[in-house]
Structure 1
Amino acid sequence: MRSKHLSAGGKYTRENGVYASNYVYGANGDARIGRLYSPLDQETLSAVTGLRGELATGPVSHRINLAANGIWQEKRNAFENTAAGSRGFGNLYEGQPVAEPPATSVSGDIHDPDTTAKVQNRSLAVSDTLGVLDDRVLLTLGVRRQSIGADAWSAASGARTSNYQESITTPAYGLVIKPTEYLSLYANRVESLQQGPTAPAAALNNGEMFAPYRSKQTEVGAKLDWGTFGGSLSLFRIEQPQGVLGGDGYYRVDAEQRNRGVELSLFGEPLDGLRLLSGATWTKAELSGTTGGRDDGNQAVGVPKFQFNLGADWDVPGLPGVSLNGLLLRTGGQFVDSANDYSIPAWTRVDLGARYRTKMDGRGVTFNAMLENVADENYWASANGGYLTQGAPRTLKVSATVDF
């Protein structure tokens, strides 16, 4: 038996806004506040294709998969910001208004930004899943050839700042053992070439693209599925470089980040029409190989020690096609710097929504409405990259999908 698939898509993004860049220098939240205007246009195209086939060699079954994909991306942006000496004084927690600092430097044409980055990511993978004992034991062996090409230009001068073409061939292994119809035990290891990070707009070397790196992930776990009830438990380990926004304002890839953790998920339908889904993750993200060993053993920047979520979806009796849903999110504290001197607290958010499924002209149509952050909580959502991302206020989102 053979099957093939092909999918393609594209996305265009335009961002245009004025932002306050807070450079915290005191434990009590004292900060120097700068102004950043960063118009951005970004175009992304992607394509995925593959071929699957099944055959048998004696008592061994084979599921062969050949897959190819590619992503092409182009960015055009410019920057208008405030020099260090012209930043205003403020505090993260006092809530006092601060006069907008002046823009003292401009990089690029903010009215018509030039191309500052082009990235191509392509891969070709082949794998074979061998099954024995009526497929109660499955062994997957695979190999992947991945290439990343990137070019970057300075928004200020137009000079090329990055130009690389990296390719690697990585293996993939996976083992699944099914002692019963409902229980699966598994283990896998994968490696991949990841695009290097780009210095954020808040960094003095904003837009600088760093070389790609190899990430490694190992996971073991168990899955239990009784149809209307089930869950999974896994242990994982991920190794990758760590990018940090330093106290001098420059973004660098410094040290290695090793994430070790436990992930638990549960799902079920305790009542007809009521579906529950929950998950929890505990992570220890440790740094090693930092400059001079200064921050070895510290928690990595922007990685919460725990995450918890609980979701519910309920079909309203007597109203065909109408469902109500809710989501509770709880995320642990995160460190802002690799020295672990500054951190943001844990936060909790509640979202509530509704969905209506119907047919129009014979086509399935789904209308969705979601009110995020119902309590309008103020919180720092993330410290990823060494800079703070503020949680969105109470937000209403509506959408509609049509089946073709």
Structure 2
Amino acid sequence: MFDDKLKTTLGVRHQNLKTTSYDPNTQAKTADYDKSEWTPSVGIVYQPSMDWSVYGNYIESLAPGARAPLTNNGGAVTNGGQNLDPYVSEQTEVGVKYDNGLIGSSLAIFRTDEPRAYVNDSNTFTAAGENRHQGVELTVFGSPSENMRFNAGVTYLNAEQKDTGDVTFDGNRVIGLPTLQSNVNLEYDLAAVEGLTVTGDIIHTGARYADAANSLKVDGYTTLDLGARYKTMLAGQDVTLKGVVTNITGEDYWQSVGGYAGAGYLNAGEPTALKVSATFDF
């Protein structure tokens, strides 16, 4: 009935994870974990035509526990520098893809569950509840002409704290994760100058929360990068010269917002900058 249009994958793997933690000041061993797990994976792909495919997969994976920060609000974390126990993450994804060789697109719905780590009232780094990430991702890519290429994507993410044991946090968004992210990349080869390509990148990141109680909100931002690369020969070698002006509009923004409940951080984004490089192919 399905001929060769339906493909399935069933797998299982054995993972062993050893984690050793040391005191950053005395170098004494503070924790030692050795965990083994059998983790399954299931995948299915249905291809009704050469251009279209529909897929779904479920994957489990053994991952190391989060590492405790050394300090929290100016005080030392009791188990600072130690890793929490390894855990098994779960990921589910279903989607559809289209690719005719010139233009392609994909639409995916996904969900990932992982333990929620935080610093408690005793200034100890521990885990309670889970962070659930579920959302939709759309990408479009292609080469509509011989000298043009593009790639664009948008992701809607609902990242929620669940079963935390504290009504202050249950249902709140996970620290540092925006609801909306999008990007557009464009490349164009200039016919007037052989080997010269101009590039442009636009990245948008939506607003994010900097604390587990969702009382501190960081604004979203959009950056624009413009650049060029030139492929030529130098002393018989292939050379690619690149130049790009990043954040050309001078956007002031926080590039990363992260951490755990009770121990968050902010990293400032780069100002406008000119970056140049040369790559030699031997």
* Structure 2 residues not aligned, in runs of 5+: none
Please list, as runs of the form range in 1=range in 2, the aligned pairs for 1:120-269 lying within 5 A after superposition: 133=3, 135-200=4-69, 202-203=71-72, 204-205=76-77, 206-244=80-118, 251-269=125-143
Residue 291 of structure 1, aligned match among 155, 165, 169: 165
Give the 3 Å change call, closer, same or farther, for CA 350–245 of structure 1 in structure 2. farther
Please list, as runs of the form range in 1=range in 2, the aligned pairs for 1:304-323 lying within 5 A after superposition: 304-323=178-197
Contact 2:248 2:272 in 1 (8 A): yes
Contact 2:255 2:269 in 1 (8 A): yes
Matched residue, 1:333: 207
Distance in 2, matches of 1:171 and 1:231, equals: 28
| Secondary structure at the counterpart of residue 171 of structure 2 | coil
| Secondary structure at the counterpart of residue 85 of structure 2 | coil
Contact 2:109 2:137 in 1 (8 A): yes
| Secondary structure at the counterpart of residue 337 of structure 1 | coil
Give the 3 Å change call, closer, same or farther, for CA 396–244 of structure 1 in structure 2. farther
| Secondary structure at the counterpart of residue 383 of structure 1 | strand
Give the 3 Å change call, closer, same or farther, for CA 401–340 of structure 1 in structure 2. same
Aligned length: 272
Distance in 2, matches of 1:155 and 1:230, equals: 49
Matched residue, 2:254: 380
Matched residue, 1:392: 270
1:362 Cα deviation after fit? 5.0
Structure number, greater radius of gyration: 1
Distance in 2, matches of 1:159 and 1:190, equals: 36
Q: Deviations over 1:131-181 (max 9, x none)?
A: x72x32111111222222121211222221221111211111111111111
Distance in 2, matches of 1:264 and 1:228, equals: 17
Matched residue, 1:46: none
Please list, as runs of the form range in 1=range in 2, the aligned pairs for 1:78-93 lying within 5 A after superposition: none
Contact 1:244 1:337 in 2 (8 A): no
Distance in 1, matches of 2:86 and 2:202, equals: 36
Give the 3 Å change call, closer, same or farther, for CA 403–172 of structure 1 in structure 2. farther
| Secondary structure at the counterpart of residue 290 of structure 1 | coil
Q: Which amino acid aligns with 1:296?
A: D
TM-score normalised by the chain length of structure 1: 0.63
Identify which range, 259-268 or 383-392, moves more after superposition.
383-392
Residue 151 of structure 2, aligned match among 266, 270, 277: 277
1:245 Cα deviation after fit? 5.2
1:318 Cα deviation after fit? 1.9
Contact 1:321 1:358 in 2 (8 A): yes
Matched residue, 1:354: 228
Identify which range, 273-282 or 144-153, moves more after superposition.
144-153
TM-score normalised by the chain length of structure 2: 0.89
Please list, as runs of the form range in 1=range in 2, the aligned pairs for 1:72-83 lying within 5 A after superposition: none
| Secondary structure at the counterpart of residue 177 of structure 2 | coil
- Are positions 1:302 and 2:176 aligned together? yes
Contact 1:295 1:339 in 2 (8 A): yes
Contact 2:63 2:87 in 1 (8 A): yes
1:363 Cα deviation after fit? 4.3
Distance in 1, matches of 2:161 and 2:248, equals: 36
Give the 3 Å change call, closer, same or farther, for CA 169–335 of structure 1 in structure 2. same
Structure number with greater CO (CA < 8 Å, separation at least 6) is 2
Contact 1:217 1:237 in 2 (8 A): yes
Distance in 1, matches of 2:118 and 2:225, equals: 32
1:368 Cα deviation after fit? 2.3
Instruction: Report % sequence identity.
Output: 38
- Are positions 1:345 and 2:223 aligned together? no
Distance in 2, matches of 1:155 and 1:310, equals: 42
